[in-house]
Amino acid sequence: MRTRIKICGITRLEDACCAASLGADALGFVFYSPSPRNISAEQAAGIVAQLPAFVTSTALFVDAERTEIDKVLTLTGIDLLQFHGDEDPVFCESFNRPYIKALRVRNDTDIAAEMARYPSARGILLDAYVPGQPGGTGMTFDWQRIPAELQQRIVLAGGLQPDNVATAIAQVRPLAVDVSGGVEATKGIKDSEKIRRFINEVNRVNSN
């Protein structure tokens, strides 16, 4: 199965349109106020409304209040939820919307055991662990720690960029790759040339 592509941290319509036109399967919107990629529900709604069909919109939260998530869902009609905090499975499931759960991988993380806690997740995003930073760190982790039998549930994230994504896919064979900082000009602003190179690299390894 081909590895899908998710471009995360979208804050501008032009970046969303660029990523979609170049072949991104999914776009991510960060609803987490400390992040430089934070976006309001109103702004995200304006972008989501203009996305072409078959591009999945994803709303990312870090231990958000239920009311905030409900507001984003109501205003944007977003397709998929992505939880980056300590949300438990019951909470993740309670929005009646498909979700993916992010796990941050430490040296001693039992990846299979952590993934098994979220059987209803449509995918598990594995990201680097950096103390005090719930995501978007630009750091990689040791991909060899990913159990081979779980590959097709995994959204691989953390420090991916055009120069390493082909190696990552060849090694992990994940359901999808997720990139934010690796395709940015500055935080929150995407670089169209980096997006193009990233997607070309994924397509190249997918066709092998």
Ligand X SMILES: O=C(O)c1ccccc1NCC(=O)[C@H](O)[C@H](O)COP(=O)(O)O
Residue ranges binding ligand X (CB under 6 A): 8-9, 30, 32, 35, 37, 60, 62, 84, 125, 127, 134-138, 157-160, 178-182
Least gap, CB of 31 to ligand X (angstroms): 10
The nearer residue to ligand X, 30 or 48, going by C-beta atoms, is 30
127 included as an active-site residue = yes
Q: List alpha helices for the chain, DSSP H.
A: 13-22, 41-48, 66-76, 89-93, 111-116, 165-172, 192-206
Which residues on adjacent β-strands are paired with residue 52? none
Catalytic residue among 88, 127, 142, 163: 127
The nearer residue to ligand X, 98 or 138, going by C-beta atoms, is 138
* Cα 82–Cα 55–Cα 114 angle in degrees, nearest 5: 25
25 included as an active-site residue = no
The nearer residue to ligand X, 44 or 60, going by C-beta atoms, is 60
Instruction: For residue 184, give both structure tokens.
Output: 């940015």
Contacts of 65 (CB under 8 A, 6+ apart): none
Q: Decide if 146 contacts 154 (C-beta within 8 A).
A: yes
The nearer residue to ligand X, 45 or 102, going by C-beta atoms, is 102
Catalytic residue among 8, 17, 18, 92: 8
User: Nearest-CA neighbor of 71 among 96, 51, 52, 45?
Assistant: 45
Question: Which residues form the catalytic set?
Answer: 8, 127
